[in-house]
Structure 1
Amino acid sequence: MTYGFLTLTFALFCAPFVASQEQQGTPPSTWPHNYPGKPSGNPSTAWQNYFRVTSPLPGVDFPISQSYAGNLPVQRAGHPNDTFFFWGFESEQGSLTATPNRHTTEKPWTIWLNGGPGTSSMYGLFFENGPIRIESDGSVTRNQHSWDKLSDIFWIDQPVGVGFSTADSQGYVADQDQVGRDFIGFLDNLVKVFPNLKTRPLHISGESYAGYYIPYIMKAYFSTPNPPVKVAKVFIGDGTIAPGVAFNLVPTLSVVETFPQLIGYDPEVYLYFKEQHELCGYNLSLTYPQTTQLPDIPLVQPRDREIPWAAAMKYTSHAQFLASLKRRATDAEDNTLSKRDREMSRELWKRDISDRLEGVIDPWYGCFLLDMAIDYALNFTYPWNDDGGFNIYDVSDSTNPNPAHEAAPFLNNPQVRAALHAPTSKDWALQFPFVFGEQGREEPSPPPITFLTELATNATAKDIKFVLIAGNNDALIPHLGTELAIQNTTFGGTRGFTRKPATPWSDDQGRFGGIVHQERGWTYALFYGAGHMIPSAVPRTAYYFFKEFVLGNNPTGKVVPAPGGGSYVVGGTRSDLEGKNLPAGPEIYLGEGATQSTYVFPQATRSAWQAFIQTETATTAPAAAPTTRTRRHRALRTETESSS
């Protein structure tokens, strides 16, 4: 069996805004700490009181729900120090420790995983959807839209060695299948401590490289004769489900169409990108349903030079390529592939490309079109050519440096470490470089798309739903990559959705949230005004979506049978949303370490572009949502604003 767009596979480093660690040498040996009162023997309900967080946490002068934290073994033979660290919060008093009964079996619970690989899920807790928010100045505030208000939820550091998780030097995972087996072993211990979790519906969720982890966890789940938990839904945001060409490079033209600000709304430059898009074979045809398997896409290297990280893509594993991608995304000086055009005027560059519009792939960039787009913006387009920053996680955010996201001082505080029963054999760090053992060791696991149809078949048989979401402002894993993965997967007997997603959805205050579509147990949503970390960018909208579409069964966007035959979409569809892309708001956010101002191109420039692109794409461009929607998510800085 062949799978589409699998010629090149790589994974992108998705640890938010943190420089990669460059430690070298042998992976460390670490182990959990035995605090006073730890019960003897294997995990059981006797461990509940031990894991209960009872000591005050510095700066947390507001009420939070009861929580439990510590390390549990993954039950890998010969590796007793291989553990996962968890921090779980109750949605109601006693909801985690209640005796299992018919009422508790109906209450959902949630797991949240960040990606990386090697990123601690404490990032999600402190900067996305947890009850405690660490601000850029190090202060601690309450997150008004924490998901523990809706569900018992555990933030889990995994694989072994990541964050406060531990491993001996020979106990790191060899591949993603080991990741899955370790996770099942951890869950088996977790339900021994909290028995009512065993029969309650579990929503396993995460973002970014968790799109790699979670499918392998589900693969292990379906391979386990008597799994320790009852999975109800799989929920992945901006996930690395497809190969890198599909989720990072193929969507470049859609990124430019979403953010024409990158090219200064210039039709001539757009046409060059469109031609390169077609020459590289990136103009894949999506049909509803998908009538044919999407083809393999070879990655064409630059002709005129060798790019170190591009060469790495040809010859090495996912893990070896990650740090290079991270650096190109966040280091302004290394962001572009070359500074050769820094002194060249924009018009000279355009004349230069006009000489090459002969049906030839760009010799300098090859088919690395995203890099060409970033390079163009940094050289020729304000504000990127002025402040030298480009945020691949949220194109609308041109703050340089980005707001700080630093949890290490809090988590490594001895008072916090003891309260959370965390290891003393290591310090917590957001990113861990030895996920697969020796730094850069090849990780041979194929991308999840290679077995996603099999996974979907098993999920359908067990009535497990899939929810995949994407942030419209994300250039690292643009929404088109997720849509390609969906349309290349057979679920419920049909490949992909039968209708193009075009149903608007709104939050609890009636504000436009984006597009949603649901068919045969699969849900897809595109979030307007959000980048890669959706709960951080649009906390209220993400909270509402989690409540309504993940924990709940909101039917908006669902294809259902019509009374007289055929089908219809609940909530209808809008023709202006049926285009290929949802244009972003006009604002680009500026500042140093925080949003201090915005920049919007002149109305005449934007109007001229609108007229051009409507004709060029032969579709009606979506009407812009209220600009206050995007402005609000970038301006979230106070509790009052967060709750508005």
Structure 2
Amino acid sequence: MVAGPHRARLSPPDSQRGALWESRVPDLASVIQQARTLHPPRQASSDSDEEPVLDPEKADCRREARCGAGMSAADFFIPSLPGQPADATVTMYGGHIASAPPKNGSPDTESDAHLYFYLVRNRHIADTERTLLWFNGGPGCSSFDGGLMEIGPFRLAPHGDGKLVELEGAWNEYANVIFIDQPVGTGYSYMSTNEYLHDLPEAADHVVEFLSKFYKIFPEFANHDTYIAGESYAGQYIPYIARAILETTRIPTRLKGIMIGNGWIDPLNQYPAYLDFALQAGVIKEGSEAEKKVRKAHDTCVTRMKMDGGIGGKRLPVHIGYCELILAGITDSTIQSVNGQNMCVNNYDVRLTDTHPACGMNWPPDVHDLAPYLSREDVKTAFHATRHEGPWTECNGQVGANFYTPNSLPSVTLLPDLLTKIQVMMFAGAEDLICNHVGIERMIENLHWNGARGWENATEEEWVVNGRTAGTWTTSRNMTYVKILEASHMVPYDQPLAAHDMFLRFVGASLLSAAGPAAQVPSRIGNEIPAVLGSTRPDGSSLNSTLADGSSTLGSAGQMDDSVLSGSKGDSSLSDGSWWSPLSGGAVEGLAHASSAIVLVLLMGAALGGFLWYRRRTGLSGRRRAGAGKGWASLTPRGKQHARAQNLGRGGGQGMGGVEDDGGLDASTTEDERDRRLRAGTSGGGGGGEEQDSHELDELMRSSHAQSRQRLFDVEDEEALDAGKRRQKERRDLDEEAKVFGLGDDDEGGDASGGETDTIADKEGRRNWRS
């Protein structure tokens, strides 16, 4: 989110802006004068007002609340929040930490600048500890936008009088997340003197100072893999903060990568993209009067940038007043009167409208509950934010007006160097206008990094999450770009599942390791089908039982309704989702589902590979046993003993049976004897013998792999067959394979022999598995 009707990328008054721009931006001098009135310079205090500084190392902690002089992590602990569910499982910390950088190598004892942080600890550790620093944009917008509307563990219930709903699948599931209000004066951050910042390097230095003190209070975080993420104007903050962290020797941060969502990064490429996106999205019509007016502003912007920006636009400022007229013209062209109220396009989601002149500032609807909640005294007390005077505001106009970056180059100029040291991800919601994907894509195409320009030969891949196409994914030379479909300026707000998957992929989290080694060990009691503990559907029934009776298939998994708050606890609509949903039933249970599905696919692949190699070698076709189901359990290669999967889908499903030797079954074994042994479990049917309960999956995979490897180097008599006989044999094999998968007429025995008939679910399940 950003301040003002538009992005609030405010620059000093420019005589070239015209009336349209002047009507939206207050005179900078009046804003500064107002700021001085609201925050007069602090008068020099007498010696009696100051507490003595006893420890030189804490010279910048002149009061107990500064930097936590004499304070520990326990002093920042948040036991609970007003409106929090009684069964919430979130561990939180929060408070103010002094952020004024040293002056001439000594602590700044005059400044009272403090940044506010809200820390949410991870629920699980995925192979290593990770910490994410999150920043919202503006400039001057609070990171509680991200904390309570996007990636944090709580959402405010709509019109719920401050009731919080805990979410599963928030970004703190596998990483610690620190939401930081900066620059000073943003959100709960504060200063008691006129200390508004003006430039990006200044803001970055404040974050470095904040981290240096944060690590003294929470020393373990200095050893975590650290990432920085944010959106909108944070596209300027983040590269500057990343550079400051990488260059300083004052803090030991292990910075691994940065993520920028719908970021404002490169004015040279992003300003002209406004018109192109508006035409593509249908916000304005090609050839209309609206396009002619906007194109005039567009052409003026491009011409002026070429004149003022130098080669490659490297001298351009972050904010360009005459280019802001493009967005203003697009917005104004959409104004329509509806029931006596002027409406316009929502600049953050072009699928929506808003009242004029807000044009998106009333969105998302959660924002109307946010300010009253965070302004309550009991809430501020819980957050350890009482030193912030007055109500909480989402975006501080004074901070934004002062942050006009007179000496800062656009952050795009920092990216090539950063890309030689860390991973960089750009992601963009496809429906955002204000920082749209067209401009971000052009920026990347024109960027030169790591020895080449743009993507070179990188391929754009389809990205699918939970059975649905989430967008596209492109990666090359440390740069990753993700375009998220059906998403706005605030991607996690619209697409929480996809956004979380994107984050986990970027940081390389190993979810199975988060569940521990026990999540990969199946077990059973009695006649149960072996399964990983906890691998059940939301209704409590066994996942393996589901597969055995053919009522679920992998291909139909995961169609979860994103209209529900992502994984909100106690939400009855979650029970309507399938067992495959990674959020249903809790994170660990979701991991068990995922691991079980992976093992199932590997098992089937190994079994099929062994069967086909065997048949190719011997020329014998698999036959269905009379009285057995027509799933994988009915395939019995004759004349050779080997380990195999029995009962895969007995009765038409895809369940898993035991794995052991054939127990001496061969061509001479009578049908009655074979059936007797199958019922007794001596040939690997049913649940398998007790002696292989805990190792049957490993044994199957080892056995199948060994057989496949042997057959690769085994010279068969088939080499001696003439071409005609080989073609006849291959045709017979193909016919038999078609029958196995229910694609042709039944083979011997068939349904007439008393075997169970194939169901539609059975055929569909096999087809999905083969895909």
Instruction: Give the TM-score, by structure 2 length.
Output: 0.53
1:485 corresponding residue in structure 2? 443
Structure with more contact order per residue of length (Cα contacts < 8 Å, sep ≥ 6): 1
Shift of 1:128: 0.9
Is the contact between residue 317 and residue 409 of structure 2 (CA under 8 Å) also seen in structure 1?
Answer: no
Deviates more, 1:630-639 or 1:39-48: 630-639
Deviates more, 1:122-131 or 1:409-418: 409-418
Which amino acid letter does the alignment assign opposite residue 280 of structure 1?
D
2:496 corresponding residue in structure 1? 539
Shift of 1:494: 1.5
Is the contact between residue 318 and residue 409 of structure 2 (CA under 8 Å) also seen in structure 1?
Answer: no
2:423 corresponding residue in structure 1? 465
Equivalent residue in structure 2 for 1:13, among 8, 13, 21? 8
Alignment of 1:293-442 (within 5 A): 297=306, 368-378=325-335, 388-398=343-353, 402=363, 403-406=365-368, 407-427=370-390, 428-435=392-399, 439=402
Q: Which has the higher helix share?
A: 2
Change (3 A) 1:484 1:640: farther
| 1:83 and 2:120 aligned | no
Is the contact between residue 116 and residue 209 of structure 1 (CA under 8 Å) also seen in structure 2?
Answer: yes
For the residue of structure 2 that corresponds to 1:202, the secondary structure is: strand
Change (3 A) 1:29 1:532: farther
Is the contact between residue 135 and residue 143 of structure 2 (CA under 8 Å) also seen in structure 1?
Answer: yes
Shift of 1:79: 3.9
Is the contact between residue 294 and residue 329 of structure 2 (CA under 8 Å) also seen in structure 1?
Answer: no
Which amino acid letter does the alignment assign opposite residue 419 of structure 2?
A
Change (3 A) 1:374 1:410: closer
Equivalent residue in structure 1 for 2:238, among 214, 219, 227? 214
| 1:134 and 2:156 aligned | yes
1:147 corresponding residue in structure 2? 171
Shift of 1:415: 1.9
Distance 1:274 1:516 in 2: 35
Equivalent residue in structure 2 for 1:197, among 215, 221, 227? 221
Shift of 1:146: 1.4
Change (3 A) 1:425 1:396: closer
Which amino acid letter does the alignment assign opposite residue 118 of structure 1?
G
| 1:164 and 2:188 aligned | yes
1:28 corresponding residue in structure 2? 39
Distance 2:67 2:343 in 1: 54
Deviates more, 1:482-491 or 1:533-542: 482-491
Is the contact between residue 114 and residue 189 of structure 2 (CA under 8 Å) also seen in structure 1?
Answer: yes
Deviates more, 1:424-433 or 1:396-405: 396-405
Cα displacement string for residues 395-454 of structure 1 (whole angstroms, at most 9, x for unaligned residues): 012265642513222222222212221133413221123337x75766432211233323
Change (3 A) 1:502 1:274: farther
Cα displacement string for residues 499-527 of structure 1 (whole angstroms, at most 9, x for unaligned residues): 466311011x1111111100111100001
Change (3 A) 1:130 1:45: farther
For the residue of structure 2 that corresponds to 1:171, the secondary structure is: coil
| 1:250 and 2:310 aligned | no
Rg larger for: 2
Shift of 1:109: 1.1
Change (3 A) 1:373 1:410: closer
Distance 1:184 1:420 in 2: 22
Shift of 1:53: 0.7
1:512 corresponding residue in structure 2? 469
Which amino acid letter does the alignment assign opposite residue 478 of structure 1?
N
Distance 1:170 1:442 in 2: 17
Change (3 A) 1:71 1:271: closer
Is the contact between residue 204 and residue 235 of structure 1 (CA under 8 Å) also seen in structure 2?
Answer: yes
2:299 corresponding residue in structure 1? 280
Which amino acid letter does the alignment assign opposite residue 146 of structure 2?
G
Change (3 A) 1:392 1:473: same
Is the contact between residue 113 and residue 192 of structure 2 (CA under 8 Å) also seen in structure 1?
Answer: yes
Distance 2:290 2:376 in 1: 54
Shift of 1:170: 3.5
Is the contact between residue 167 and residue 566 of structure 2 (CA under 8 Å) also seen in structure 1?
Answer: no
Is the contact between residue 96 and residue 116 of structure 2 (CA under 8 Å) also seen in structure 1?
Answer: yes
2:147 corresponding residue in structure 1? 125
Change (3 A) 1:89 1:273: same
Distance 1:392 1:637 in 2: 28
1:3 corresponding residue in structure 2? none
Is the contact between residue 240 and residue 414 of structure 2 (CA under 8 Å) also seen in structure 1?
Answer: no
1:580 corresponding residue in structure 2? none
Distance 2:459 2:25 in 1: 37
Is the contact between residue 427 and residue 482 of structure 2 (CA under 8 Å) also seen in structure 1?
Answer: yes
Cα displacement string for residues 317-362 of structure 1 (whole angstroms, at most 9, x for unaligned residues): 86896xxxxxxxxxxxxxxxxxxxxxxxxxxxxxxxxxxxxxxxxx
Is the contact between residue 430 and residue 437 of structure 2 (CA under 8 Å) also seen in structure 1?
Answer: yes
1:454 corresponding residue in structure 2? 417
Shift of 1:173: 2.1
Shift of 1:208: 0.5
Runs of at least 5 residues in structure 2 that lack an aligned partner in the other structure: 1-5, 11-23, 43-50, 52-62, 102-107, 309-315, 356-361, 512-558, 578-771
For the residue of structure 1 that corresponds to 2:78, the secondary structure is: coil
Shift of 1:150: 2.1
Change (3 A) 1:40 1:78: closer
Distance 1:366 1:240 in 2: 14
Shift of 1:377: 3.3
2:18 corresponding residue in structure 1? none
Is the contact between residue 492 and residue 499 of structure 2 (CA under 8 Å) also seen in structure 1?
Answer: yes
Shift of 1:281: 9.0
How many residue pairs end up in the alignment? 462
Equivalent residue in structure 1 for 2:90, among 65, 68, 88? 65
RMSD: 4.4
Distance 1:169 1:476 in 2: 33
Which amino acid letter does the alignment assign opposite residue 125 of structure 1?
G
Which amino acid letter does the alignment assign opposite residue 69 of structure 1?
G
Shift of 1:132: 1.2
Is the contact between residue 275 and residue 295 of structure 2 (CA under 8 Å) also seen in structure 1?
Answer: no
Instruction: Give the TM-score, by structure 1 length.
Output: 0.62
1:524 corresponding residue in structure 2? 481
Shift of 1:120: 0.6
Distance 2:294 2:99 in 1: 51
Is the contact between residue 514 and residue 526 of structure 1 (CA under 8 Å) also seen in structure 2?
Answer: yes
